[in-house]
A and B are shown apart, each in its own frame.
Chain A
Amino acid sequence: MRASWVRALWTTDHKQVARQYLWGGLGFLLLGGLLALLIRWQWAWPGQPVPGLAWALPESRGALTPPTYTVLFTLHGLVMIFFAVTPLLFGALGHFVLPLAIGARGFAFPRLSAAGFWAYAVGGALVLASFAVRLGPASAGWTSYPPLATPAFTPGVGQTLMTVAILCVGVSAFSYGLNFVVTVVRCRAPGMTWGRMPLVVWGLFYGAVLNVLFVPVLAAATLLLLLDRVAGTQFFIAGAAAVGGGGDPIVYQHLFWLFGHPEVYILILPAWGMVGDFVAYFSRKPAHGYRLTAGAMGAVTAMSGLVYAHHLFTSGLSPVLGRAFMVLTLLISLPAEVMFLNWLMTLWRGSVRLTSPMLAALATMVVFGLGGITGLALGAVATDVPLHGTMWVVGHFHLTMGAASFLAVFAGLYFWFPKMYGRALHEGLAKAHVLASAVLFVGVFGGQLAAGYAGQLRRLYDPYQYTYLKHLLPLNQWTTGCAFLLGAAQLLFVGNLVWTLWRGRAAEPNPWSVGTLEWTCATSPPAPDNYATEPVVLRGPHVLSQPDVQQQLGRDWIGQAEAAVLGGTE
């Protein structure tokens, strides 16, 4: 008999693992967000002391110094991507929803999901520990380009700890990727055909496939970089007068982006799936072109590893490669357009209900649409040149993998929280939070797009060193104002969460009136084995507002496994 604290920490129940990831992810989201606010402070009031930060930076009386600043943007990127967004999308929502949504009793490899969480936790602990070491945490940018990321230029232990931490989250991401893929392929309930899976399962499945394929590439690059750091190898150190050596830094860039570009799809695929489902649920209508949407997501997944070198258009890429990657990059926008139009068509002639998950899904659509549109110019060689490395890029990818991914996380949380904890969140607070966040996201990242178009380069401690950027100060102050408001708006979420866990009313069994398995065949929260009897699936996830159902059952939805004498409601 194990001690109770061991059972609480080492759990193979996917719902418990999901809760662990949820709290870990939210914690790191808070950290990453605070780091972002400090960066924004610096661009609005460069070199001015940050109120309340004197305890952490006594030598500068709370003002950010150039070395501190490099740490801030490095950690912000790494923490958000590896420790907040992916853990929330895959770790929390994915772990919770995936087995339930396909009618499984759990994952194919329950112990692997527990081990994956602990790999993530160790990585997170290393990140936190790196704040305490001499020379501070990592500072070579989230991309950790060598030779900058080698000890010759970034000697601190913090950079090494971060390299190991990335390997840890890599282990975690690979293991849940594998687990998700095998579970979807092998553990679907009887009758749960591929064509009857909710779109969110498709999104998680595709994202998991990309994890399995491309996280090992990141792990390889990071491992070689680690060897360069600790074992004196020179994989990525070349020809430099200062260091000598026979490797090649550009190899790292290719390996990194071969992972890095699929990673942005990893961060958005589950979001696309949720949007597809929620738009259908809350238009009370089957998803328009379900197969087209699932197919489009699959096309993006298939192409995601073939577009990465648009990140390297200015690296001296040969024209042959430049052309090829330009064509492939532009091509990937086609399936995204099909999917987006399907969402819009789902709304059309539906019966739209603006619940909090729906509002968040619509907001995700808007910010993702804006992010996608602003990325077009970055995919073509000529127009990439003036925008490359500017705040335009920052605004673009924050709209997609920042704003869209987080709004989708909130959409998912608002939708499944009653199922996760058996309590209902306050709907008004949730809606206010979603609306405020969406508007402010557009404000912050729209301001960054404008600054980037005017030429402001990324990662500048003091952009106003440059005469041609001096006039951007008021714009940046406005953007920073939006960012602080955005941070404040998250209190609506925190307050709602804390209040609901403490005093919230019990959730209704099927608050959103949908037919998916988790809402129709399981209790809230579900029992350890999810389903008392294995559900036998009879129909797709969005059988809504069908006349024969309405006639027979007197409601506009029917459970995926609900036995009824119906014809033609596939």
Chain B
Amino acid sequence: MGGVVGGEARVTPDLSPARLILSESTPAPQPVPSEAGGAGPVHQTPVRSAPPANAVTPRMSEQARAWTLSPPEGASTYGPRIDALLERSHVFEAGLAAVMLAWLVLAVWRFRGARPVVAANGGTRRSRAWVLGLAVCVFVGVDGTLFLGSERYARDVLWNLEVPANDPRTVRLELNAHQWSWEARYAGEDGRFGTPDDVVTWNDLRVPVGVPVWVQLVSTDVVHGFSLPAFRVKLDAIPGRVNQTWFQAAREGTFEVACYQHCGTSHYRMRGLLTVLSEADYARWLHEAGRLATQSYDADDAAAHWGWEWRAP
């Protein structure tokens, strides 16, 4: 029980309303061990105190993947639910496309230059009823599946900020998007934003594995889009408001942060790295970085103090 979601087979228990109640009343899902990372093998990056700037977890069969119509390799605890839903809806869609094409080709081939069989109105009451019935069936089947799956995911994960709010281990992250970088602020060991031990990084996010990461996102210039392709996370950064979302890493490794809203000339270079560390490594890093931040804290440097009081959901 809890938030263990590893693939389609394990989706069902997670969808029960019981889980929702659970996550509201008790401290949240347990950290998920590496098995939840999806189909591919899990890549463990060696423990480092500082990841090299360009290292991204390697993937298998690079060139071949382009032609397989597969999403970016996942690293999120909950991402597989979206992937499974997408896969299911693609099966439906492929079926629809096949029926449409087959019907069209068959009709053209079979009736090309044929003697037309014509009802005065081009159809009968019965044939029109068939059209309506068929359309309703397709609609209920295809759109219904999408709606229910989507609704469950939104209720359990996407819009359910109770999970990070109720988990004492949750990592809170303030993210300031600007042309053209991601500036991240951690509360430091005291757990409070706006204190000297706040850790600020540029294009370099670090999170512990198996722990909810709660992101509050702003922009100080234009509209940006915060996306973690490997985590199925997307959220707009819009000047004048604080948007929030959360995710949970299923495995360690280094992944990419990408901007998905056109934000000016160097939009394409608004790239950051997200390193998923073990809980111990993360704690060690935060301690060290907080110590350095406290040392170099400059109370007069107003521009460096852009954080805000954490906002409740």
Contact: A290 with B122, CB < 8 Å?
yes
Contact: B97 with A450, CB < 8 Å?
no
**What residue in chain B is nearest A569 (Cβ atoms)?**
B120
Contact: A316 with B128, CB < 8 Å?
no
- Say which residue of B81, B225, B255, B268 sits within 8 Å of A314 (CB atoms): B225
- Say which residue of A154, A286, A327 sits within 8 Å of B147 (CB atoms): A327
Bound-state CA distance A465–B169 (Å) is 34
Is B280 an interface residue when CB atoms closer than 8 A count as contact?
A: no
B43-96 with Cβ < 8 A to chain A: 54, 56, 59, 62-63, 65-67, 69-73, 81-83, 85-86, 89-90, 93, 96
Contact: B118 with A347, CB < 8 Å?
no
- Say which residue of B131, B221, B266 sits within 8 Å of A147 (CB atoms): B221
Q: Which bucket holds chain A's interface residue count?
A: 35 or more
B149-165 with Cβ < 8 A to chain A: 149-151, 153-154, 158-159
Residues on B with beta carbons closer than 8 Å to the beta carbon of A347: 104, 107-108, 111
**What residue in chain A is nearest B94 (Cβ atoms)?**
A373
Contact: B93 with A288, CB < 8 Å?
no
Residues on A with beta carbons closer than 8 Å to the beta carbon of B90: 377
Residues on B with beta carbons closer than 8 Å to the beta carbon of A238: 239-241
Bound-state CA distance A351–B96 (Å) is 25
Is A326 an interface residue when CB atoms closer than 8 A count as contact?
A: yes
Is A536 an interface residue when CB atoms closer than 8 A count as contact?
A: no
Contact: B236 with A239, CB < 8 Å?
no
Bound-state CA distance A377–B260 (Å) is 18
* Residues A249 and B82 in contact in the complex (CB < 8 Å), given A148-B264, A314-B234: no
Bound-state CA distance A545–B154 (Å) is 53
Contact: A455 with B71, CB < 8 Å?
yes
Contact: B69 with A457, CB < 8 Å?
no
- Say which residue of B72, B142, B149, B151 sits within 8 Å of A455 (CB atoms): B72
Residues on B with beta carbons closer than 8 Å to the beta carbon of A240: 219-221, 239-240
Write the nearest CB–CB distance from A5 to chain B, whole angstroms: 43
- Say which residue of A292, A316, A547 sits within 8 Å of B236 (CB atoms): A316
Write the nearest CB–CB distance from B67 to chain A, whole angstroms: 7
Q: Mark A209-244, 1 if CB is under 8 A from B, else 0.
A: 000000000000000000000000000011111110
Write the nearest CB–CB distance from A446 to chain B, whole angstroms: 10
Residues on A with beta carbons closer than 8 Å to the beta carbon of B149: 380, 382-383
A441-475 with Cβ < 8 A to chain B: 450-451, 453-455, 457-463, 465-468, 470-475
Contact: A285 with B116, CB < 8 Å?
yes
Is A561 an interface residue when CB atoms closer than 8 A count as contact?
A: no
Contact: A475 with B135, CB < 8 Å?
no
Residues on A with beta carbons closer than 8 Å to the beta carbon of B18: none
Write the nearest CB–CB distance from B162 to chain A, whole angstroms: 13
Residues on A with beta carbons closer than 8 Å to the beta carbon of B101: 366, 369
Residues on A with beta carbons closer than 8 Å to the beta carbon of B268: 66, 459-463, 465
* Residues A457 and B260 in contact in the complex (CB < 8 Å), given A465-B271, A474-B66: yes
Contact: A354 with B239, CB < 8 Å?
no
Bound-state CA distance A285–B121 (Å) is 9
Bound-state CA distance A340–B138 (Å) is 12
* Residues A382 and B154 in contact in the complex (CB < 8 Å), given A141-B262, A145-B223, A240-B239: yes
A359-399 with Cβ < 8 A to chain B: 362, 365-366, 369-370, 373-374, 376-377, 379-383, 385-390
Residues on B with beta carbons closer than 8 Å to the beta carbon of A316: 235-236, 238, 241, 243-244
Q: Mark A509-545, 1 if CB is under 8 A from B, else 0.
A: 0000000000000000000000000000000001011
Write the nearest CB–CB distance from B273 to chain A, whole angstroms: 10
- Say which residue of B71, B83, B86, B221 sits within 8 Å of A454 (CB atoms): B71
Contact: A453 with B69, CB < 8 Å?
yes
- Say which residue of A70, A385, A570 sits within 8 Å of B234 (CB atoms): A385
Is B41 an interface residue when CB atoms closer than 8 A count as contact?
A: no
Is A61 an interface residue when CB atoms closer than 8 A count as contact?
A: no
Write the nearest CB–CB distance from A115 to chain B, whole angstroms: 34
Q: Mark A283-324, 1 if CB is under 8 A from B, else 0.
A: 111111110100000000000000000000011100100110
Residues on B with beta carbons closer than 8 Å to the beta carbon of A380: 89, 146-147, 149-150
Describe B's contact surface by its main secondary structure. mixed
Contact: A314 with B236, CB < 8 Å?
yes
Contact: B118 with A285, CB < 8 Å?
yes
Bound-state CA distance A434–B143 (Å) is 32
Is B114 an interface residue when CB atoms closer than 8 A count as contact?
A: yes
* Residues A385 and B120 in contact in the complex (CB < 8 Å), given A148-B262, A289-B128: no
* Residues A153 and B114 in contact in the complex (CB < 8 Å), given A66-B266, A362-B104, A459-B267: no
Contact: B222 with A153, CB < 8 Å?
yes
Tell me which of A287, A334, A457, A544 has the highest count of chain B C-beta atoms within 10 A of its own C-beta. A457
Contact: B262 with A334, CB < 8 Å?
no
Contact: A545 with B100, CB < 8 Å?
no
- Say which residue of B117, B122, B142, B239 sits within 8 Å of A289 (CB atoms): B122
Residues on A with beta carbons closer than 8 Å to the beta carbon of B255: 468
* Residues A153 and B221 in contact in the complex (CB < 8 Å), given A70-B265, A347-B104: yes
Is A562 an interface residue when CB atoms closer than 8 A count as contact?
A: no
Contact: B82 with A454, CB < 8 Å?
no
Is B269 an interface residue when CB atoms closer than 8 A count as contact?
A: yes
**What residue in chain A is nearest B138 (Cβ atoms)?**
A337
Bound-state CA distance A570–B119 (Å) is 12
Bound-state CA distance A451–B112 (Å) is 37
Contact: A467 with B151, CB < 8 Å?
no
Contact: B97 with A370, CB < 8 Å?
yes
A181-221 with Cβ < 8 A to chain B: none
Is A134 an interface residue when CB atoms closer than 8 A count as contact?
A: no
Bound-state CA distance A467–B72 (Å) is 11
- Say which residue of B97, B112, B136, B179 sits within 8 Å of A334 (CB atoms): B136
Contact: B89 with A376, CB < 8 Å?
yes
A420-456 with Cβ < 8 A to chain B: 450-451, 453-455
Is A500 an interface residue when CB atoms closer than 8 A count as contact?
A: no
Contact: A344 with B66, CB < 8 Å?
no
Bound-state CA distance A467–B256 (Å) is 8
Write the nearest CB–CB distance from B282 to chain A, whole angstroms: 22
Is B311 an interface residue when CB atoms closer than 8 A count as contact?
A: no
Interface residues of B (CB under 8 A from A): 54, 56, 59, 62-63, 65-67, 69-73, 81-83, 85-86, 89-90, 93, 96-97, 100-101, 103-104, 107-108, 111-123, 127-128, 131-132, 134-136, 138-139, 142-143, 146-147, 149-151, 153-154, 158-159, 179, 219-223, 225, 227, 229-230, 232-236, 238-241, 243-244, 255-256, 258-269, 271, 306
Q: Can you add 8 more A-B contacts, CB < 8 Å, to A73-B262, A475-B67?
A: A145-B222, A243-B221, A250-B240, A288-B131, A289-B128, A385-B82, A454-B65, A468-B73
Q: List 21 A-B contacts (CB under 8 A).
A: A70-B267, A148-B262, A239-B240, A316-B236, A319-B154, A323-B151, A347-B107, A351-B116, A352-B108, A352-B112, A377-B146, A381-B150, A382-B81, A383-B150, A386-B229, A454-B66, A468-B72, A470-B62, A474-B63, A474-B66, A556-B116
Shortest 7 CB-CB contacts between residues of A and residues of B: A238-B240, A286-B122, A239-B240, A389-B260, A316-B243, A380-B150, A382-B153
